[in-house]
Amino acid sequence: MTVEKMEAVEIFAAGEKGRGLRATRELKAGEVVFAEASYAAVVFDSLSMQVCHSCFRRQANLHRCAQCRFAHYCDRTCQRAAWEEHKQECAAIKNLGNVPKENIRLAARALWHMRKYGGKVSDSQLTTLDMLEDHVSEISPEDLKSLQADVQTFQAYWPRNTRRFGDSYVSHILGVIICNAFTLSDQRGLQAVGVGIFPNLCLVNHDCWPNCTVILNHGNKTALDSTLHSQRRIELRSLGTIAEGEELTVSYVDFLNLSKERQRLLKQQYYFDCKCEHCSTGIKDDLMMAVQDEDGKKPSPEQVKEVTELSLQTLEKIEKARTMGDYHEVMKLCYECLEKQEPVLADTHLYHLRVLSAASEVLSYQLSFKEAAGYARRMVEGYMKLYHPNNAQLGMAIMRAGVTNWHAGLIELGHGMICKAYAILMVTHGPHHPITKDLEAMRTQTEVELRMFRENECVYQSMREAALQGKPMAEPIEEQAESLSKSRK
């Protein structure tokens, strides 16, 4: 199954962090360090009817498994490809009479897989689920209670006629899933749709300013053999030149948080204290909390405190209104908050950026591209001062801002941003990823339009207006891909 090569990496003792992976030769920016198929993966409970359980594509009119009535597939081909990993699950769901939560389904799939192929599927798999950390001894009493309940559900779910696993072993596997499972996104990388286990990837330690990124690339269905395709696949890609012997790292959390907050999130989800350089010395914390400083005229500390508190409260309200789909309310809150923020907070302040992001997202969803474009540009300018230049989230944000500016008729700005995003995604996603291919098409299209614009601006604008009135061109921005970060779902 995991047939891909691991020649560029080796395991080493990474001090306090336990085991880690390091490069065995120099790696270049955008290089695939390794690719790995999932050991096991499942679709989220909430999306079981909207996402194919075989290839994880989001699709309308999925075909339902007639036996369990739970699994859904694009077509017979996907169903056949998935039968090997679904058949025991299918019978277990029928016997139990209901469908257990995703983490229990994932644990069962992992253990069926282990029974069939062994803990180590091939020489290129560097570790086993048995050897991974579960952190069960560190979890809170409350979480421990729910873990024990999950163990019982698992035991009821596991087929009676096959050899059983002891409770403590099941609890180890569930613990491994909590701190090592990776969120899988759909084919476009836009929405988180499921969760999977990738043993080699579990060996890559965290750094808030990492030298690698993980991207899902299920590959081209016709080009890959169907087993690999249906098993889902990640790529670890290097973000810059990595020296021989250097440790490989990825980030488990979004960098756009203060170092204290990132440390808190990491401790809570992954049970370690981040001692990376950016956390230890608080690199960029000052920018993320910076205040206006025009000609040395700074706002008073009281003013800063007032606006900071107001921003925090408003961000909560924005989130609430957004979940309820009340976009009118979101925009009202954004306008009020931005007016207060602008004279006080700097353009890299986190709370300011979060409001700009909400405003541009909602406005482009409502097809108010002209207004959205300005907010999107300011957001991206702030992001570029904070993120690693090859951060995947930065690339995606620039892409969305570029599309918004393009739709607003700001073709020069739009084209410039689309080119910038393309350059980043060539590193983080690679030339074969569906999003990179989309971007390439947009780059060509905007290039043609830019030429037209330079020849005759008037004609260009009226053509754009007509095109936009005909059809909404923006895709609604869904739950932003957390596909790059580990999830405890």
Which residues contact Zn ion by CB under 5 A?
Answer: 52, 54-55, 65, 67-68, 71, 74, 78, 90, 208, 274, 276, 279
Complex with Zn ion: residue 23 or 55, whichever CB lies closer:
55
Write phi, then psi, for 111 (nearest 5 degrees): -75, -30
For Zn ion, the closer of residues 236 and 276 by Cβ is 276
**CA atoms of 163 and 449, how far apart (whole Å):** 65
Please spell the DSSP secondary structure of 276-293, one letter per residue.
-HHHHTTTTHHHHT-B--
Q: b/e string for 12-36 if b means 16 or more Cβ within 10 A?
A: eeeeeeebbbbbeeebeebbbbbbb
Please say which residue, 7 or 84, places its beta carbon nearer to Zn ion.
84
The least distance separating Zn ion from the CB of residue 17, rounded to whole angstroms, comes to: 12
Least Å from the CB of residue 316 to Zn ion: 25
The answer to whether residues 371 and 363 touch, using CB atoms and an 8 Å cutoff, is: yes
Return the SS3 of 431: coil
Q: Give me the least distance between CB of 56 and Zn ion, in Å please.
A: 7
Q: Could you tell me the smallest distance in angstroms from the CB atom of residue 65 to Zn ion?
A: 3
CB of 224 to Zn ion, least distance (A): 13
The amino acid that residue 239 corresponds to is: L
Smaller CB separation from Zn ion, 46 or 67: 67
State how far the Cα of 75 lies from the Cα of 61, in Å rounded to an integer.
Answer: 10
How far is Cα 171 from Cα 169, in angstroms, rounded to an integer? 5
The end-to-end CA distance of the chain, in Å, is 25
CB of 276 to Zn ion, least distance (A): 3
Nearest one of 428, 431, 407, 432 to 417, comparing CA atoms: 407
> Residue 213: what residue type?
T
* C-beta of 233 vs 415, nearer to Zn ion: 233
Query: Looking at beta carbons only, is 393 or 446 nearer to Zn ion?
Result: 393
Provide, rounded to whole angstroms, the least separation between the CB of residue 221 and Zn ion.
9
- Amino acid at site 384: M
Nearest approach, Cβ of residue 308 and Zn ion (Å): 23
Q: Is the Cβ of residue 107 or residue 276 nearer to Zn ion in the bound state? A: 276
Q: Do the Cβ atoms of 182 and 451 come closer than 8 Å?
A: no
Strand stretches in 2-51, DSSP E: 9-13, 19-23, 32-37, 40-43
Closer by beta carbon to Zn ion, 279 or else 373: 279
Nearest to 483 by CA among 64, 71, 188, 118: 188
CB 212 within 8 A of CB 237: yes
Q: How far is the CB of 34 from Zn ion (least distance, A)?
A: 24
Closer Cβ to Zn ion, 279 or 398, answer by number: 279
